[in-house]
Amino acid sequence: MLEGKKILLGVCGSIAAYKSATLVRLLVKAGANVQVVMTSDSTNFITPLTLSTLSKNPVYHEYFKAETGEWNNHVELGLWADIMVIAPASANTMAKMAGGLVDNLLTAVYLSAKCQVYFAPAMDLDMWKHNATRDNISQLQSFGNILIPPGSGELASGLHGEGRMAEPEEIVNFLADDIRKKLPLVNKRVMVTAGPTYEAIDPVRFIGNHSSGKMGFAIADELASLGASVTLVAGPTAQKSKYHNIKRIDITSAAEMLEACLQHFNQSDACVMCAAVADYTPAHVAEQKIKKTEEQFSIELKKTTDILKTLGKQKRNNQVLVGFALETNNEEEHAIEKLKKKNLDLIVLNSLNDSGAGFKSDTNKVTLIDSQLNKTHFGLKNKTEVARDICAKLVELM
């Protein structure tokens, strides 16, 4: 969930600041890009050098770099972040945040930030219970900031009770859970097919096609990043998924793909049929390797089942079915024909006349046509960006 996220960590003056080192390390390990802003007080508890070494980024704690007189741009830092986490959040800093008081870089960044802000308080039991603290926390929550509740236990003062900053592991899990539950496709199951199919001629030969599987894998990754539970039915391909939680089913032939799709379609909220399924398969598969005895040799082919059309017939009203059309002429007309014939909610058209589109390449140029025949044309983009466009439309349809 935190992979690729830009996280701004604000560190306040509290003994819990020593835990920031572990927090930074865990966030970096989770794939986040972390920048740290500290209050001057917090540098008494942990050094900027420790946090810059662990985050692999410069650490900011002053408005100006004393040596060069350069300004640490708080607006830029605030805008850079996908999320801001203030941990430990001291009673003093929370009071400033609640009142809009800006007397250091951290509070200036906080006021400039447009992203979701989380705060993990750390303080003594009595400070935590004080009405002023309670009011400040309510005020911060009313601004949309999210409290990461403190734990209970032995405090630095020697007292025992609530006020101890949540452990770094708990903070990381809290952030990941909160981000996950806000994703648009959380609790949705989507099946994606990708790659070519291979149709056996004999034990060593097959009929295949040039599909690399890149587009289908990019779509599966994008759907997973949007929170969906993804089942990826993949033909023979060297592609790998970015996310471990994508359930991959490897198949070889069109018949195997049909079987896998029929098994999973019923439980799916949506299906994106991106695979380049063979339209014909040898009528007979030779048991032994065919010898080159004949001068002329022909293979009898029979039609495979159209998987998409089969799913289209079974589709319930609450399921969304997306197909692809690869065309060479009268592209839109043919795509609309397929959309209707296969009972689709959306068809992704790519034309082989567009250079950089279609099989093998890292880029694609698509037109999306929905069942109302609304058309959206996109320019040439890399397949990750194309996947984003397709999935954004899918989210809309779901």
Residues serving a catalytic function are 209
- Selection from 335, 328, 332, 376 nearest residue 354 by Cα: 328
Comparing CB distances to ligand CTP, the nearer of 279 and 396 is 279
Q: How far is the CB of 186 from ligand CTP (least distance, A)?
A: 26
**Rounded least distance, CB 306 to ligand CTP, Å:** 4
- State which residue, 29 or 340, has the beta carbon closest to ligand CTP: 340
234 near ligand CTP (CB under 6 A): no
- What's 380's DSSP letter? S
120 binds ligand CTP (CB under 6 A): no
For 78, phi then psi, to 5°, come to -65, -35
- SS3 for 50? helix
Q: What are phi and psi of 294, to 5 degrees?
A: -85, 150
Among 275, 320, 321, 357, binds ligand CTP (CB under 6 A): 275
| Residue of 34, 37, 77, 254 that binds ligand CTP (CB under 6 A) | 254
Q: Which is nearer to ligand CTP, 177 or 337 (CB)?
A: 337
Nearer Cβ to ligand CTP (35/253): 253
* Helix H or strand E segment including 190: strand 189-194
φ/ψ (deg, to 5) at 80: -65, -35
Q: For 243-361, where are the E strands, in sequence order?
A: 247-250, 270-273, 280-282, 301-303, 320-327, 346-351
Q: Using an 8 Å Cβ cutoff, are 138 and 94 in contact?
A: no
Q: Is 326 in the site for ligand CTP (CB under 6 A)?
A: yes
Site for ligand CTP contains 324 (CB under 6 A): yes
Among candidates 8, 224, 3, 225, which has minimal Cα distance to 116?
A: 8
Helical pair 91-99 and 131-142, crossing angle rounded to 10 deg = 50
E strand or H helix that includes residue 154: strand 151-154
Could you say which of 5, 338, 381, 393 contacts ligand CTP (CB under 6 A)? 338
Supply φ then ψ for residue 9, to 5 degrees.
-105, 120
Contact 249, 260 (CB under 8 A): yes
**Closer residue to ligand CTP (CB): 224 or 277:** 277
- By CB under 6 A, tell whether 279 contacts ligand CTP: yes
Instruction: Specify whether the CB–CB gap between 360 and 212 falls below 8 A.
Output: yes
Inter-residue contact 290 to 202 (CB < 8 Å): yes
Q: How far is the CB of 5 from ligand CTP (least distance, A)?
A: 33
C-alpha dihedral (130, 132, 133, 138), degrees to nearest 10: 130
Interacting residue with ligand CTP among 14, 281, 304, 367 (CB under 6 A): 304
Cβ atoms 39, 114 nearer than 8 A? no
Nearer to ligand CTP, 87 or 273 (CB): 273
**Contact residue for ligand CTP among 34, 171, 307, 357 (CB under 6 A):** 307
Cβ atoms of residues 186 and 180 within 8 Å: yes
| Residue 277 binds ligand CTP (CB under 6 A) | yes
Among 199, 269, 306, 345, binds ligand CTP (CB under 6 A): 306
- Is residue 2 involved in binding ligand CTP (CB under 6 A)? no
What minimum distance in Å lies between the beta carbon of 386 and ligand CTP?
15
Binder of ligand CTP out of 81, 218, 308, 320 (CB under 6 A): 308
Q: Which is nearer to ligand CTP, 121 or 195 (CB)?
A: 195
Of residues 36 and 273, the one with the C-beta less far from ligand CTP? 273
Strand partners, 296: none
Binding segment toward ligand CTP, per CB under 6 A, in 5-13, 29-37, 299-307, 385-393: 299-307
- Taking the complex as a whole, the smallest distance from the CB of residue 304 to ligand CTP amounts, in Å, to 5
Number of residues that bind ligand CTP (CB under 6 A): 14
Q: Is residue 215 within the footprint of ligand CTP (CB under 6 A)?
A: no
Q: Is 220 in the site for ligand CTP (CB under 6 A)?
A: no
Q: Of 371, 318, 377, whose CA–CA distance to 346 is shortest?
A: 371
Binding region for ligand CTP (CB under 6 A) out of 15-23, 35-43, 144-152, 319-327: 319-327
- On whether the CB atoms of residues 96 and 102 are closer than 8 A, the answer is yes
Which residues lie near ligand CTP (CB under 6 A)? 254, 273, 275, 277, 279, 304, 306-308, 323-326, 338
